[in-house]
Structure 1
Amino acid sequence: MRLALYCPDIPQNAGTIIRLGACMGVPVDVIEPCGFTFSDSSLRRAGMDYLARAAIRRHDDFTAFERFRGGNGGRLIALTTAGETRPDRFAFRPDDTLILGRESAGLPDEVHALADARLRLPMVAGARSLNVAVAAAMVLHEALRQTRLLPEDPSS
Structure 2
Amino acid sequence: MLNIVLLEPEMPANTGNIGRTCCATGTRLHLIEPMGFKINDKMLKRAGLDYWDKLDVTVYDCYEDFLEQNPDAVKKMYMATTKSKQDYTDVQYEPDAYIMFGKESAGIPEEILVESQDTAIRIPMNKNIRSLNLSNSVAIVLYEALRQNNFFDMQLEGELHRLHWKE
Give the TM-score normalised by structure 1.
Answer: 0.93
Match of 1:120 in 2: 122
Counterpart Cα distance in 2 of 1:35 and 1:132: 14
**AA in 1 matched with 2:155:** E
Distance 1:92 1:71 in 2: 14
Query: For each residue in 1:107-136, what CA deviation from the matched residue of structure 2 results, as whole angstroms up to 9, or x when unmatched?
Result: 112321333511110112322210011000
- 1:78 is aligned with what amino acid? M
Larger radius of gyration: 2
CA shift for structure 1 position 155: 2.7
Gaps of 5+ in 1: none
Deviations 1:28-84 (A, max 9, x none): 000011011111111010011111111001111101100122056741100111112
The DSSP-based 3-state class of the residue aligned with 1:98 is: strand
Quote the residue 2:142 is aligned against: 140
Shift >3 Å, 4+ stretches:
71-74
Does the Cα contact within 8 Å between 1:30 and 1:56 map onto a contact in 2? yes
Q: Is the 8 A contact 2:85 2:122 kept in 1?
A: yes
Cα distance in 2 for partners of 1:66, 1:11 equals 23
Post-superposition shift, 1:87? 1.3
Tell me how far apart the structure 2 counterparts of residues 118 and 58 of structure 1 sit (CA, whole Å): 23
Matched, 1:100 2:101: yes
Contact 2:73 2:97 in 1 (8 A): no
Deviates more, 1:30-39 or 1:146-155: 146-155
TM-score w.r.t. the length of structure 2 is 0.87
Tell me what 1:65 maps to.
66
Partner of 1:51: 52
Indicate conservation of the 8 Å contact 1:31/1:62, yes or no: yes
* Cα distance change of structure 1 residues 74 and 144 upon mapping to structure 2, 3 Å threshold: farther
**1:10 is matched by which residue type in structure 2?**
M
Residues 40, 59 of structure 1: CA spacing in aligned structure 2 closer, same or farther, 3 A cutoff?
A: same
Q: Where does structure 2 lack aligned partners over 5 or more consecutive residues? A: 160-167
Question: Is the counterpart of residue 155 in structure 1 residue 158 in structure 2?
Answer: yes
What do you get for the CA RMSD once the two structures are aligned?
1.6
Q: Quick check: 53-62 or 117-126, which moved more?
A: 117-126
Give the count of matched residue pairs: 156
Show the counterpart of 1:18: 19
Instruction: Give identity over the alignment, percent.
Output: 31
Which shifted more, 114-123 or 52-61? 114-123
Name the aligned partner's letter for residue 62 of structure 1: Y
> In the superposition, relative to structure 1, how do residues 70 and 111 fare at CA in structure 2: closer, same or farther (>3 Å)?
same
CA distance in 2, matches of 1:74, 1:54: 25
After superposing the two structures, state which structure 1 stretch, 18-27 or 110-119, moved more: 110-119
**Corresponding residue SS for 1:87:** coil
